[in-house]
Amino acid sequence: MSHSSIERFKTVTDRNVLALQEAKQAGVKVVGQYCIYSPLEMALAAGAVPVSLCGTKNDSIFSAESILPRSLCPLIKSSFGFALEDSCPYLAASDIVVADTTCDGKKKMFELLAERKPMFMLQLPQIQNAPALEYWKEQYESLMRHFEQLFGVVIGEKELRSAIAKANRFRRALKSVLDLARKKPSPLSGMELMEIAHRASFVPDWDKAAELLEDIAREVGASNESPFSASAPRVLLTGVPVGLGSHKVVKLLEDCGASVVCLDNCSCYKKVRLMIDESADPLTALASRYLDMPCAVMSPNPNRYAYLEELASEFRADAVVDLTWQGCQTYDVESWSVKKFVREKLHLPFLQIVTDYSPADTEQLKVRAEAFLEMLR
């Protein structure tokens, strides 16, 4: 199925690296960011372009294993491998990298990365309460001062408000595309939802990205076509981030007949939950909304369950699949509570898949996915 707005989006985003290099040549600064807790509005307010850096490719893992333990999560190894090989154009273009103390593996990898790239570490609290918010706001203030010094700019309320408005427009546009999958049957496959969210996070011109996404929402929203039959089991995929290159499980589920209607992770739907209150004090609004994000590094992590309940109902999910990268202790341990919640509170079937980026276990996973989906039919 082809939509001209999606083709146009792909043509423009195929040029993401080139467009970033052109912007750099014109003097624009680039801020590389890893986790969802790094406020992209701060980079926008400093007149810089924020780009996403989390590694989603298997190719760079081999190099990373010359330094990092093989048992580490593939996302961390992939990210670090890109730095060792100097093979990621977005990392190469970054004037500074902003990272957060999320999981143990990631923050220790960042210490090694700091030997190769200028970095700013945000010390992320692991609880979501009032003292943590005050502390987090101070972290954002330090980041703001650092950008001011580094880029020779002044970031005031006006700059922050305009950055918030720009990022909110982008999120609204991305949300309007991701929400198309609420329709039964979904007009977009999970692979398409994942690819659109992935490509959109590398467009250097945020207004352009929003425009392209708005066009997709309009065109696809008006069409009655779907790649699925109405009886295809609708899967809500939760857990670790997934992007182009680490999409094995999304593809596998759909190859086995499921329709992945929502990807509840920080590379997809969590992004559009970051809508910032435009009328509040900008720094407080940013700190409080970002701190609320339900990554498994939070302890406890109540928002994950609240969001899961909302998403399962809004996307009319028939089942929940929890994806965990091998070596990821936080998501792996949390999976037990998520399973209990999904089965006992949402009354939905649940499956946890633990894997990495390599294709080695594809056949084995396929057998499990087929048996799970068969049970739903």
Q: Name the burial class of residue 52, with classes exposed (0-12), middle (13-18) and buried (19+) by CB atoms within 10 angstroms of its CB.
A: buried
Distance CA 252, CA 269 (A): 20
Please state the closest distance from residue 131 (CB atom) to ligand SF4, in A: 21
Of the two residues 32 and 105, which places its CB atom closer to ligand SF4 in the complex? Answer: 105
Q: Tokens for 115?
A: 């030997």
Of the two residues 291 and 373, which places its CB atom closer to ligand SF4 in the complex? Answer: 291
Of the two residues 213 and 328, which places its CB atom closer to ligand SF4 in the complex? Answer: 328
Please state the closest distance from residue 106 (CB atom) to ligand SF4, in A: 5
Please state the closest distance from residue 3 (CB atom) to ligand SF4, in A: 29
Identify the CA nearest to 188 among candidates 340, 332, 5, 61: 5
Of the two residues 113 and 297, which places its CB atom closer to ligand SF4 in the complex? Answer: 297
Helix 302-314 crosses helix 329-344 at what angle (to 10 degrees)?
A: 50
Count other Cβ atoms within 10 Å, centred on residue 40.
26
Of the two residues 189 and 301, which places its CB atom closer to ligand SF4 in the complex? Answer: 301
8 A C-beta contact, residue 370 and residue 256 = yes
Of how many residues is the chain composed?
A: 377
Of the two residues 29 and 77, which places its CB atom closer to ligand SF4 in the complex? Answer: 77
Please state the closest distance from residue 152 (CB atom) to ligand SF4, in A: 30
In b/e form, how buried is each residue of 250-260, taking b as 16+ CB within 10 angstroms?
bebbbebbbbb
Helix 190-200 crosses helix 4-14 at what angle (to 10 degrees)?
A: 40
Q: Tokens for 249?
A: 């499980």
Please state the closest distance from residue 22 (CB atom) to ligand SF4, in A: 28
Sheet containing strand 350-355, edge to edge, reads 259-264, 234-239, 319-325, 350-355
Please state the closest distance from residue 12 (CB atom) to ligand SF4, in A: 26
Q: Is 365 helix (H, G, I), strand (E, B) or coil?
A: helix
Please state the closest distance from residue 332 (CB atom) to ligand SF4, in A: 8
The binding site for ligand SF4 (CB under 6 A) comprises 35-36, 54, 73, 75-76, 102-103, 105-106, 240-241, 266, 295, 297, 325, 328, 330-331
Cite the beta strand spans of 112-258 per DSSP E.
Answer: 119-122, 234-239
Of the two residues 3 and 199, which places its CB atom closer to ligand SF4 in the complex? Answer: 199
Please state the closest distance from residue 109 (CB atom) to ligand SF4, in A: 9
Of the two residues 192 and 356, which places its CB atom closer to ligand SF4 in the complex? Answer: 356
